[in-house]
Structure 1
Amino acid sequence: MGVLAEKYEMLNTCNKCGFCHTACKTYKVDGAEPMVSRGRIQLIKAVVDGKIEPDADYEDAINSCLLCGECAVACPSGVSAKELVMAARRDLKLRKGVKPFAKSYALNTLANPHKLERAFKLFGGLGKNVLKKVDGMDYFRGVDIKGMNVARVPFLNQVPERILVAQPKHKVAFYVGCFLNFSLDDTANSVVKVLTKNDCEVIIPKDQVCCGLPQYAYGDFETAKVNARKTIDTFLAKDVEAIITACGSCAAMLKEDYLKLFADDASYLPKVKMFCAKVKEFSEYMAEIGVDESKFHNSAPVKVTYHDPCHMVRGIKVKTQPRQMLKSLPRVEYIEMFEADRCCGASGLVQAFYHEMATNITRQKAKNIQDSGAEVVATSCPACIMRLQGGINMAGGKQKVMHVADLMAKAYED
């Protein structure tokens, strides 16, 4: 039975009511039926039924989906268009491989830490110097590339594998993720600072690799499984109570998608379940163990709002914990923005290959931020941080986008 045939019953649960039109951000930008969940589902069904071939237009409809999950919330039948689109991408991969070459190259680079490090070094050196001399290249496809940080030394090379504390109450492992390692190393250091301030001994395995989400999202399960096995075996070898990640996207992959990826591997699945049960998103874990607020220091007053990453709010259902952390900080005035859980338009490689659509989605998010009156936008996903900062800068806004861990770490500064 083919990948899509296995989903045939789910395809038929869509009653074509159109409630997804109110939620789908790609439809609101494009206005075409193939760019909304109902349309995508009918296209997938037509391919399964042999009524149409998966041509270029079909591929655009499938690959432009943000996988944000907002449509499933609006759907009276609870149809997961995200799951169906993922199946369609897997089907496309099996039929044609990952296309175009640029996407395939990007996914292969992300999967290999050595290639990724070389790519960041090239961008941080020669690449940024070239960009500075090119007019109109402040932003590339909606991303503030001139302002994008590149770590001088990857975070994993900055720290020892084991960080001790005087009186440990907890022992955790830190899954860093690609962008915290190579770009947002200050945020990675903030995570460690907050954990150690709260009496956590931190293990940071040096041989970490990409979690496999980019490859998984485009149907390359084979590569995703290689990285997933490496991650699971590496971290389960450490005697820790929890595996912490400060990336919402990684958290969803590590915590939930690994179970789907290995669902048909009966011999390895018990190990996967053991691993997934230990995974905690950073703010989720801090809320669980309780933050030592007595160590906080007063800082300048600041108005803060929060952006919900899609993988967190609709994926692993972590919503209240980041807000709880922010509200615990001294002299923070928390403001809830309109549509805080609205997708920012990043969505992995969608922003690169459908940049005009993504930029329009980001523009609305930037307006919501501006209207909130906040000075700082906190979030929990590196991709969202870069996307939001670029959108705010392009709109002429002054707000700074920060990770929740960075704001917490500042509160611990003497």
Structure 2
Amino acid sequence: MGVLNDVYEMLNTCNKCGFCLTACKTYKTDLREPLSPRGRIQLIKKLVDGVIEPDQDYEDAINSCLLCGECAVACPSGVKGNELVLAARRDLKLRHGIKPFAKSFALKTLASPSRLEHGFNFFKGVGKGLLKRIDGLDYFRGVDIRNMPAAEKPFLEQVPEQITVGDPQKKVAFFVGCFLNHSLDGTAHSVVKVLTKNNCDVIIPKDQVCCGLPQYAYGDFESAKANARKTIESFLDRKPDAVLTACASCGSMLRDEYLKLFADEPGYLPRVKEFCAKVFEFSEFVEDQIKLDESKLKAHTPVKVTYHDPCHMARHLKITSQPRQVLKSIPRLQFVEMNEANRCCGASGLVQAFYHQLSTDITRQKTQNIVDSGAEVVATSCPACMLRIQGGLNFAGKQQTVVHVADLLAKAYED
């Protein structure tokens, strides 16, 4: 109970006003009190007080949270419901490990580069072949798995460890992340292209691993710490001016959560702080550090583009203006805002796999907002959001395509 005792004061700070209900997408979709931030907080408090035991209903309430952070923004008392859920998940992990087995297996696979590569190799080989033969498996738990891209070989195997330019202004270490490495390798190439076109030497450490966010989100701090330590040492050893990621979720973990993860290791914390201070998200780095020379950008084919704010970008990293400025800098690209641009798309890591109907309903609203905007293309800054939203659009029979901000910018540098 130590984990939950540490947050007991925050549990008691909730005055049950209900402001969080207006923001919470799981509650607005399901309309059951236990799936609201207020409901989850009261369940956690009752567990600490010994009123209830952590039964299946309790675990479902805790594990179905999107961790989007909208409740924390809405709360007038400053209660961070997402952080309380993280504490509850940590408590569950300490009680009985990660359950069910499928979730534990998935998290262990993500944490291991070799296991993850084997998984993607199976998917793009035997897996996709089987899917094409089985009717009704176009969408599995709301994910468009038949059309989910898989790189012919991991991005890390396609590029050298260092890419140099003639007159380097900055030395940037690129944290690729799991999805860009194994699925959306074209976007990873777009990131490198933009950096080199802007006089940056690019270092791509071949020994990089998962940032640790999936494990951290389900209370496996030990596995998350192991990967975090590897990441910190690998990247700092190369002495970059900046560590760049093109994944909002990875960026949040690398820059913010590492500080929380190692808060109990004061001897190592200075090393962590040194690393975190170097971390930038792609559009943030491009807009604030590079300062684009727009005269070098070539005109796109005229296209109307909207932008989806990933939860980790808008509410965790608090980066919202930079991706829009990057998009607006591209000639002949017409930018339009969609309604509720920062509304969660429903991906939220493994929530989409284990609470797929809830996720699908949330994705459906995001899809409708995109359609209503009149945009032909949806840009975003998170690979998981890209795959989730594209699947939602495909499932709805819509024609819009989803791309990364880096893809659109890289295209403007085409010779």
Confirm or deny a common fold (TM above 0.5).
yes
How many angstroms does 1:294 deviate by? 2.3
Aligned equivalents of 2:295, 2:149: Cα separation in 1: 33
CA offsets per residue over residues 312-368 of structure 1, 9 Å max, x none?
A: 100011110000100000100000000000000000000000000000000000000
Range moving further from structure 2, 210-219 or 27-36? 27-36
**Which amino acid in structure 2 is aligned with residue 42 of structure 1?**
Q
**Which amino acid in structure 2 is aligned with residue 337 of structure 1?**
M
- Match of 1:398? 399
**Which amino acid in structure 1 is aligned with residue 359 of structure 2?**
A
Aligned equivalents of 1:179, 1:413: Cα separation in 2: 24
**Which amino acid in structure 2 is aligned with residue 258 of structure 1?**
Y
CA offsets per residue over residues 367-396 of structure 1, 9 Å max, x none?
A: 000000000000000000000000011111
SS of the aligned residue for 1:173 comes to: strand
- Match of 1:54? 54
SS of the aligned residue for 1:304 comes to: strand
How many angstroms does 1:297 deviate by? 1.3
Cα pair 2:174 2:245 within 8 Å, conserved: yes
- Match of 1:387? 388
Aligned equivalents of 1:77, 1:202: Cα separation in 2: 44
Aligned equivalents of 1:271, 1:16: Cα separation in 2: 40
How many angstroms does 1:18 deviate by? 0.6
CA offsets per residue over residues 119-170 of structure 1, 9 Å max, x none?
A: 0000000000110111121111111111111100100000001100111111
- Match of 2:220? 220
Aligned equivalents of 1:129, 1:13: Cα separation in 2: 53
- Match of 1:183? 183
Aligned residue pair count: 414
- Match of 1:84? 84
Aligned equivalents of 1:294, 1:163: Cα separation in 2: 24
SS of the aligned residue for 1:3 comes to: helix
Aligned equivalents of 1:47, 1:128: Cα separation in 2: 44
**Which amino acid in structure 1 is aligned with residue 201 of structure 2?**
E
Aligned equivalents of 1:30, 1:96: Cα separation in 2: 28
Instruction: Indicate whether 1:238 and 2:238 are aligned.
Output: yes
- Match of 1:290? 291
Tell me, which stretches of 5 or more residues in structure 1 are unaligned? none
- Match of 1:147? 147
Tell me, which stretches of 5 or more residues in structure 2 are unaligned? none
Please report the RMSD computed on the Cα atoms of aligned residues, expressed in angstroms: 0.7
- Match of 2:205? 205
Cα pair 2:300 2:330 within 8 Å, conserved: no
Instruction: Indicate whether 1:195 and 2:160 are aligned.
Output: no
CA offsets per residue over residues 178-202 of structure 1, 9 Å max, x none?
A: 0100000000000000000011000
Instruction: Indicate whether 1:344 and 2:345 are aligned.
Output: yes
Aligned equivalents of 2:313, 2:76: Cα separation in 1: 22
Instruction: Indicate whether 1:274 and 2:274 are aligned.
Output: yes
Aligned equivalents of 2:295, 2:330: Cα separation in 1: 11
**Which amino acid in structure 1 is aligned with residue 354 of structure 2?**
F
Counterparts of residues 317-396 of structure 1 (less than 5 Å): 317-396=318-397
Identity %: 71
Aligned equivalents of 1:96, 1:62: Cα separation in 2: 15
SS of the aligned residue for 1:4 comes to: helix
Aligned equivalents of 2:298, 2:82: Cα separation in 1: 43
- Match of 1:33? 33
**Which amino acid in structure 1 is aligned with residue 390 of structure 2?**
Q
Aligned equivalents of 1:236, 1:250: Cα separation in 2: 17
SS of the aligned residue for 2:244 comes to: strand
Range moving further from structure 2, 265-274 or 290-299? 290-299
TM-score when normalising by structure 1: 0.99
Aligned equivalents of 2:299, 2:235: Cα separation in 1: 37
SS of the aligned residue for 1:78 comes to: coil
Aligned equivalents of 1:201, 1:229: Cα separation in 2: 24
Aligned equivalents of 2:286, 2:300: Cα separation in 1: 21
**Which amino acid in structure 1 is aligned with residue 133 of structure 2?**
K
Aligned equivalents of 1:171, 1:321: Cα separation in 2: 21
Aligned equivalents of 1:129, 1:307: Cα separation in 2: 32
- Match of 2:105? 105
Aligned equivalents of 1:187, 1:408: Cα separation in 2: 11
**Which amino acid in structure 2 is aligned with residue 401 of structure 1?**
V
- Match of 2:309? 308
Aligned equivalents of 1:250, 1:329: Cα separation in 2: 26
CA offsets per residue over residues 59-113 of structure 1, 9 Å max, x none?
A: 0000000000011111111210000000000000000100000000000000000
